Chains A and B, each alone.
Chain A
Amino acid sequence: MTMLNEGQQVDLLMNMGPQHPSTHGVFRMLLRVDGEVIVDAEPHIGYLHRGSEKLAEGEQYHQVVTLFDRMDYISNFNNEWVFCRAVEKLMGAEVPERAEYIRVILGELNRIASHLLFLGTFGLDAGAMTPVMFAFRGRERIQALFEGVSGARMMHNYVHVGGVKEDVPPNFKEMMAELLADLREDVEECDRLLSFNEVFVARSKDIGAIDLDTAIDYGWTGPCLRACGMEYDVRRAEPYSIYDRFEFNVPVGRDGDCWDRYFVRVLEMYESLRIIDQALEGMPEGEVNSVGGRLVRPPKGDVYVRAENPRGEIGVYLVSDGTDKPYRVKVRPPSFCNLSALRLLVKDSYIADAVVILGSLDIVLGEVDR
């Protein structure tokens, strides 16, 4: 223990997390505070490390899908999808049209569900207790549909290599019509409730601002990067699946602060609804899986695919040695890269701002730690 000289001032060392209501899981920040102002912050991650990448090496390909479910557990479909795309690219397998449409619809629905969750918890971080209830209502509706389609509310294991597990229920269109009517209302309601609330804007505007160059240097992607003003969306920059067939905008922010990061996500929900509408119209009949059986043996080789997840660009690097198990799976998680700038953002801000900034990054610890 170091002794202090008389009159010497020291900063208070504060431990925020891993048991803290607003660190979104088990994240820990070691804050050095001077009164209310944060002098320095040291993020600690790894509390949710499950070794998913290593585990994947011991599982067959169809089993690895379940591991991807549990990485970003807020957007399961998008995660399953990107891994299956990696395997398909390696095998050169074609995915049936209908399966692509199903994947797009469910993926975009999952994006809305994820953003709704973000909206609610971001409101909680700022101290508003009502938006979370409204946001969860919409999210529950989406999850009820997911349950109808895949049998599970989360951890669906529905996207399989070569398509999807099975066709959607026969009344899928009616279910979707019912859901979309309610969902549009829900999203608008949440938007109205929070977006232009005076206190909310005062709490999040001009807080945690980052300029575009720094954001790119830190490897930011997704809504966080777009909030800085760059129109970069993998769905647009390198259209995968059937995204080139749909008409949608890529909303961008201007100042790269917490409010912009929030509002980009809100606008994205409207765009996702547009994509879903178009996809439902164009959905053909037919097969949903081209590979058939579960057991797949991709040829020797490696492949890298990327996709636009709700949180940003996810990348999967897959090495196959020709057996039924992957030789190596490496994931580039968007949350991890976005989180890396946290120290820069929270420095010299207030403690209350640190919570808002962390919330605006919308991290999922399951993905950060894997």
Chain B
Amino acid sequence: MNLLDILLLIIALLILFTALSIVVISMIWIERKFLGRLQRRLGPTRTGPFGLLQPVADAVKLVLKEDLIPSTADKAIFWVAPLLVLIPSFMIWVTIPATKDLVLRNLDLGLFVIVALLVVSILGLLLAGWGSANKYGALGGLRSAAQLVSYEVPLVMVVVSVAILAESLDLRVIAASQVPIGVAEGVLNEVKEAGGSFNHIGVPLILIFPLGMVLFLIAGLAEVGRIPFDIYFAESEIVGGPFVEYSGAHFSVFFLAEYINTFLVGALAALFFLGGWYGPFLPEWIWFLVKTYAVVVVIFWIRGTFPRLRVDQLMAFGWKAMIPLSFVGVVICAVYRFYDWPAWTMTVMSLAVLGVVGYWLYRRFTQPVQRLAKLYGRRPGRVGNVS
């Protein structure tokens, strides 16, 4: 690798980072506006047209603020922790393809790298909680370790299922295998020539594997710590958890990482289940963004709707519901691939598991509300049933 290559790589990384920053800024704006509308507010309106400059103002404010370090904090750990959270979530993006050509380094083992890097941020959160010498922080750090490790398992199992279905760990191939053969020929031929293998499915995976989509979204929510799984920085309980002592630029780094991760969950959902960047009429990169932002908005929507789970309920849900279901998902994917049944059998199996087991779990986990609803003659979780 000569000097020019290194220079080009650095420039490419800088461009990627800038692009991600713009994405994060847009997400903050969308979140504030969308949440505002959900809550019958306007959201930001003062800074720029439609409050578009609000995230910029927020960023400037955060960076200009004094960066406090508690006197009892472990300074080295306190400094390193935000980077340990940001760098892995940034590095994952190196291998995420936005279109079939728009990717910094496409890896044959892309899925593997993503799963490996996702875990590193736990260390950062744990160190942040520990290093700030704050009891809320320590508690939040431990909570984050417990939560992220338990929800890593179903997430990985879903990723494994997707890999089984597409018979590839290459993200480009996974996306390409979900569209009709004529559309995806470019990528698939390229792989064939390189001697790689894949399984062409022809329809977006959400149609044949909705179970996986649901599991992936729930586990993804937990991975990025969004309501109802935001227990590791629950403001009303442990006041921000690992971030409690962070301010100014250090805090903004955590903030950036959190939003990059949220966007990552959206992007992965789009690549795994929604057919990636493929779509009619519009350019590929726009389709990728549309699909990703759609998932991200769903995440924001959930944030505006649900209260927070308690830590034991979260763990119970993770170990008793998510993990068994994700294993069932792997098994049905394997059975489907082994016997080479037609695609609709996969849809049936997936929907059956989701319907039967999902409904059973819903009844099981919501016994109190069912009882109360019966008592007071209401229907739980529905709108428009008062008096």
Interface positions of A (Cβ within 8 A of B): 12, 14-15, 20-22, 36, 123-130, 133-134, 137, 188, 191-192, 195-203, 205-206, 254, 259, 263, 270, 350-353, 355
CB 8 Å contact bits of B131-150 with A (1 = contact, 0 = none): 00001100100010000000
Which one of B91-99, B157-165, B284-292, B376-384 is at the interface? B376-384
Q: List 23 A-B contacts (CB under 8 A).
A: A20-B239, A36-B312, A123-B307, A124-B236, A129-B227, A130-B38, A192-B383, A195-B378, A196-B379, A197-B381, A198-B380, A199-B306, A199-B307, A201-B368, A201-B372, A201-B380, A202-B313, A202-B366, A202-B368, A203-B308, A203-B313, A205-B368, A206-B368
Give the total number of A-B pairs whose CB atoms are below 8 A apart. 122
Rank and list the top 8 A-B pairs by shortest CB-CB distance, nearest first.
A127-B308, A133-B39, A128-B307, A201-B369, A22-B236, A126-B307, A205-B368, A196-B380
Q: Does B221 lie at the interface of the complex (its beta carbon under 8 Å from any beta carbon of A)?
A: no
Measured between alpha carbons, how far is A263 from B369 in the docked complex, in Å?
Answer: 13
Chain A residue contacts of B230, Cβ below 8 A: 127
Q: Which residues of B contact A14 (CB under 8 A)?
A: 135-136, 139
Residue pair B309, A202 in contact (C-beta under 8 Å): yes
B321 → chain A closest CB, angstroms: 13
Partner of A130, one of B305, B368, B380, B384: B305
A192-B384, A352-B311 are known contacts; what are 6 more A-B pairs with Cβ within 8 Å? A129-B303, A137-B40, A188-B387, A254-B375, A352-B231, A352-B310
Bound complex: CA of A350 vs CA of B234, how far in Å?
A: 14
What A residues does B379 contact at CB under 8 A? 196
- B187 interface residue (CB < 8 Å to A): no
Q: Does B373 contact A (CB under 8 A)?
A: yes
Shortest Cβ distance from A84 into chain B, in angstroms?
A: 35
B window 306-347: CB within 8 A of A? 306-313
Whether, in the assembled complex, B185 has its beta carbon less than 8 Å from a beta carbon of chain A, the answer is no
Known: A127-B234, A197-B306. A350 touches B386 (CB 8 A): no
Across the interface, B381 reaches (CB within 8 A) one of A36, A188, A198, A353, namely A198
Q: B365 at the A/B interface (Cβ < 8 Å)? A: yes
- Residues of chain A within 8 A (CB-CB) of B239 are 20-21
- With an 8 A cutoff between CB atoms, is B71 at the interface? no
Q: Are A350 and B304 in contact (CB under 8 A)?
A: no
Instruction: Give the residues in chain B near A123, CB-CB below 8 Å.
Output: 307
Q: Select which of A127, A188, A195, A353 is within 8 A of B227 by beta carbon.
A: A127
CB-based contact A128/B306 at 8 Å:
yes
Q: Which residue of B lies closest to A359 (CB)?
A: B236
Residue of A nearest to B368 (CB): A205
A21 and B313 CA atoms in complex are apart in Å by 23
Residue contact A126 to B308, C-beta cutoff 8 Å:
yes
Smallest Cβ-Cβ distance to A31: which chain B residue: B135
Known: A127-B227, A191-B386. A355 touches B236 (CB 8 A): yes
Q: Bound complex: CA of A254 vs CA of B143, how far in Å?
A: 34
The yes or no answer to B58 lying at the interface (CB within 8 A) is no
Whether B385 sits at the interface, judged by CB under 8 Å, is yes
In the complex, chain A residues whose CB is within 8 Å of the CB of B139: 14, 36, 351
Question: B66 to chain A: which residues have CB within 8 Å?
Answer: none
Which chain A residues lie closer than 8 Å to B231 at the CB level? 352
A259 to B375, CA, bound (A): 13
Write out, one digit per residue, whether chain B residues 103-137 have a CB within 8 A of any chain A CB (1) or not (0): 00000000000000000000000000000000110
A129 to B303 CA separation, bound complex (whole angstroms): 8
Complex contacts, A134 vs chain B, CB 8 Å: 39-40
Contact A203 B310 (CB under 8 A): yes
- By beta carbon, the residue of chain B nearest A14 is B135
User: What is the bound-complex CA distance between A141 and B196, given in angstroms?
Assistant: 66
B228 at the interface (CB under 8 A from A): yes
Asked if B190 is at the interface (CB within 8 A of a chain A CB), the reply is no
Residue B67 lies at the interface, judged by CB distance under 8 Å to chain A: no
Which A residues are in CB contact (< 8 Å) with B380?
196-198, 201
Chain A residues with CB under 8 A of B373: 196
Contact B40 A133 (CB under 8 A): yes
Within 8 A of A (CB), among B30-58: 35, 38-41
B369:A205 contact, CB within 8 angstroms: yes
Across-interface contacts of A201 in B (CB, < 8 A): 366, 368-369, 372, 380
Contact of A350 among B310, B366, B378 (CB under 8 A): B310
Q: Is the CB of A133 within 8 A of B41?
A: yes
Bound-complex Cα distance A351 to B139 (A): 10
